[in-house]
């Protein structure tokens, strides 16, 4: 049998890719995948509280991997939260005040965090402690649409935006799956 290859570098690359696929398959089989979501409420604090008079409401999605032989999980979480929306009607321009448009201003957060969770990998009820580090992107967006119309956006702009480092922790419990049911009376 004869192996034909263009260059030594391409041979090394193909061989390395093959070994990486084998190694990642073994790694993937020896880990547990976890995905979920949650709803959350954000309560303004410090200087932010001086400018915002209401709590934000949002949701997040989470994915993570946990090695089966260890009681930890590494993951990422992304979320979105709205902490205020204002609607009003305004003249489209000062020269044509009879034409009005719907103006909407939204105040939003986009969050992203790396998660480290300490949690048993087995059991029907699995308590956990977790820590998170990442950031929050805050932005205020104003858009105009046809009055009472079809929701077609005419124009929009991001009025203000900022990024803030964030960290936190928490705890809870998640449910495991039952692979065997044993019983007797």
- Six-digit token string for 167: 């960290």
- Six-digit token string for 178: 């039952």
Delimit the domains of the chain by residue range.
Answer: 36-170
Identify the pLDDT of residue 70: 84
Q: Is 12's pLDDT higher than 60? A: no
- Six-digit token string for 61: 């999605």
Identify the pLDDT of residue 149: 67
Please identify which residue in the block is written with the tokens 């398959």: 25
Please identify which residue in the block is written with the tokens 């480290």: 116
Q: Is 125's pLDDT higher than 90? A: no
Q: Is 156's pLDDT higher than 80? A: yes
- Six-digit token string for 109: 């957060």
Which of 179 and 76 is assigned the larger pLDDT?
76
- C-alpha 160/C-alpha 1 separation (Å) is 66
* Predicted TM-score of the model (pTM): 0.65
Strand order of the sheet with strand 72-91? 31-42, 56-67, 72-91, 100-118, 125-146, 153-175
Which of 18 and 94 is assigned the larger pLDDT?
94
Question: Would you put residue 123 in left (φ > 0), alpha (ψ -120 to 50) or beta?
Answer: left
Which of 65 and 29 is assigned the larger pLDDT?
65
Identify the pLDDT of residue 82: 95
């Amino acid at each position: 049998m004869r192996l034909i290859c263009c260059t030594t570098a391409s041979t090394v690359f193909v061989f390395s890719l093959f070994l990486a696929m084998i190694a990642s398959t073994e790694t993937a089989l020896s880990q547990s995948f976890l995905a979920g979501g949650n709803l959350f409420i954000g309560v303004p604090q410090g200087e932010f509280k001086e400018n915002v008079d209401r709590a934000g409401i949002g949701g997040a999605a989470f994915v993570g991997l946990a090695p089966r032989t260890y009681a930890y999980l590494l993951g990422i979480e992304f979320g979105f939260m709205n902490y205020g929306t204002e609607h009003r009607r305004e003249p489209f321009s000062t020269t044509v005040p009879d034409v009005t448009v719907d103006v909407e201003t939204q105040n939003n957060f986009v969050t992203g965090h790396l998660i480290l969770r300490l949690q048993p990998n087995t059991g029907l009820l699995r308590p956990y402690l977790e820590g998170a580090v990442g950031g929050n992107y805050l932005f205020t967006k104003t858009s105009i649409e046809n009055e009472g119309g079809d929701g077609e956006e005419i124009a929009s702009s991001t009025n203000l935006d900022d990024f803030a480092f964030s960290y936190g922790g928490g705890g809870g419990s998640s449910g495991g799956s039952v692979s065997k049911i044993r019983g007797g009376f």
